[in-house]
Amino acid sequence: MNERDPIVITGIGLAAPNGSSRGEYRAALLQGRSGVVAFETRHLGIVPAGVCEFDEFQYQRASVRRKGTRAGSVAIYCARQALQDSQLDWPNVAVDRVGICLGITEHGNVETENQIHELGQYNNDLGTWSNYHNSRTVANNPAGEVSINLGITGPHLTIGAACAAGNAGLIHGAQLLTLGEIDVALAGGVSESIRSFGIFASFHSQRALARHDDPTKASRPFDLNRNGIVVSEGGGVFVLERLSDARRRHARIYAEIAGYAMNSDARDLVNPFSERQRQCMELALRRAGIDADEVCYLGTHATGTDRGDAVECESIQGLFGDRSGIHITNTKSLIGHTMGAAGAMETAALLSAFEDGLIHPTINLDDRDPQCDLKQLVTQSPRDLGNFEYGMVNSFGMLGINSTVVLRRPRQPMI
């Protein structure tokens, strides 16, 4: 990291299953209010899922929205909210010096599946096939949709990093700023996953799709009776700047990006590896220039799968042991797994904790799995930490991609 001019977060835009703004999201987390509902999807019927309720047309005309993707609409909403929150003088920002770095698991599947279904209804008449198919499915969508919507002419990148993608977007945005390639980054992650039956079907075939009579209780990280992933949609986009630029315009600073790391298991398509996860966390701490005992907050990746949760707990215990100074939490118990946005959701929770000093509880933990016996896990009700300096967010993904981001409480008061 560039110690002379750190990268800071000055704006937050969010669309979550339990809130369409950072304030709504924060209130729901602290209240332990789930955003998971019963959702009907093609071929599988009713499943628990995290559904976002933001207004798609707040920043897009209906005619433009029809040409794009659900992921693009999530990204545009979050990017616009983040810019508004940052209080940047947007009409006077040099748009060729703004970069867009958005992580994602997949995109375009929603519209493609719908087109294939419609094709079958019309005897495979290719006249029903949209001429926007290619622009919806190319790898640089949805960042490209944000670029067009906001008139940003700097680089736009959609970063495929499975469920580590939200962190990857943040990391890449910070790197471009450190290199001096841009002056402002819109960075984070988005997900449209619930609109595609294929992702539900795949987890179902893997016996990794959560089921429960009460959808709000379906997402159960660390619980002995967890039975899989609750698929969710959402997005988190952050405005990043160099500290000197943020101070020059008297911006409110939420946090400094103190360190980060990404690595690969290089072992298996789906099964995680605790040693490589631990090494990722260690590298992020080393780059931040701190020891493990300086971390007070840890946002976990845990998705509610048997092996995934147990392996992450093993990696956490291998690094932190039973040290009482760290406090561990999880957002997926409240909103499900937002896939490419997962790291961004955890980051948004950490940024709020820097402000109010509270760590939200992990819910649905009725019978803790002995393999997930993290004694520092916050449950039942929020825990008041007061002012703390460092927090960490983990996000791990399929094909063995791991990411960790370390954030530092701003060195100047937040305004």
Per residue in 297-346, pLDDT tens?
999 999 999 999 999 999 999 999 988 899 999 999 999 999 999 999 99
**Residues spanned by the domain of 108:** 7-248
| pTM, rounded to two decimals | 0.95
Annotation says 337 is catalytic: yes
Regarding whether 222 and 301 lie in a shared domain, the answer is no
Regarding whether 172 and 284 lie in a shared domain, the answer is no
Cβ-defined contacts of 53-61 (< 8 Å, 24+): 53/20, 54/15, 54/20, 55/20, 59/149, 60/149
Average pLDDT along the chain? 94
Per residue in 99-145, pLDDT tens?
999 999 987 777 788 778 888 888 888 877 888 888 888 889 999 99
State the residue for tokens 């009460």: 214
Regarding whether 361 and 287 lie in a shared domain, the answer is yes
Indicate whether 346 belongs to any domain. yes
* Segment 150-168 mean pLDDT: 97
- Sheet hosting strand 36-41, strand order edge to edge: 36-41, 45-50, 231-232
CATH of the domain at 137: 3.40.47.10
* Segment 213-234 mean pLDDT: 97
Indicate whether 1 belongs to any domain. no
Regarding whether 266 and 192 lie in a shared domain, the answer is no
**How many Å apart are CA 201 and CA 203, to the nearest integer?**
6
Domain boundary among 227, 248, 269: 248
Regarding whether 335 and 197 lie in a shared domain, the answer is no
Least confident of 92-96, 179-183, 321-325, 375-379: 321-325
Regarding whether 383 and 322 lie in a shared domain, the answer is yes
Domain boundary among 197, 221, 248: 248
Q: Read off the tokens for 206.
A: 């893997």
* Segment 383-408 mean pLDDT: 97
pLDDT score of 412: 63
Annotation says 301 is catalytic: yes
Regarding whether 181 and 326 lie in a shared domain, the answer is no
pLDDT score of 190: 97
Per residue in 24-66, pLDDT tens?
999 999 999 999 999 999 889 999 999 999 999 999 999 999 9
How many domains does the chain contain in total?
Answer: 2
Regarding whether 381 and 276 lie in a shared domain, the answer is yes
Domain boundary among 196, 216, 248: 248
Regarding whether 265 and 237 lie in a shared domain, the answer is no
Q: Quick one: pLDDT band at residue 2, thresholds 50, 70, 90? A: very low
Among 107, 172, 327, 337, the one annotated catalytic? 337
The answer to whether 384 and 357 have CB atoms below 8 angstroms apart is yes
User: How many percent of the chain have pLDDT more than 70?
Assistant: 98
Annotation says 43 is catalytic: no
Among 301, 313, 327, 360, the one annotated catalytic? 301
User: How many percent of the chain have pLDDT more than 90?
Assistant: 86
Indicate whether 253 belongs to any domain. no
* Segment 213-237 mean pLDDT: 97
Regarding whether 272 and 202 lie in a shared domain, the answer is no
Among 52, 78, 101, 163, the one annotated catalytic? 163
User: Who wins on pLDDT, 107 or 149?
Assistant: 149
Regarding whether 177 and 243 lie in a shared domain, the answer is yes
Indicate whether 150 belongs to any domain. yes
Q: Quick one: pLDDT band at residue 3, thresholds 50, 70, 90? A: low
Residue 1 has pLDDT above 70, yes or no: no
Q: Is the peptide bond before 413 cis (omega within 30 degrees of 0)?
A: no
Indicate whether 378 belongs to any domain. yes
Regarding whether 56 and 33 lie in a shared domain, the answer is yes
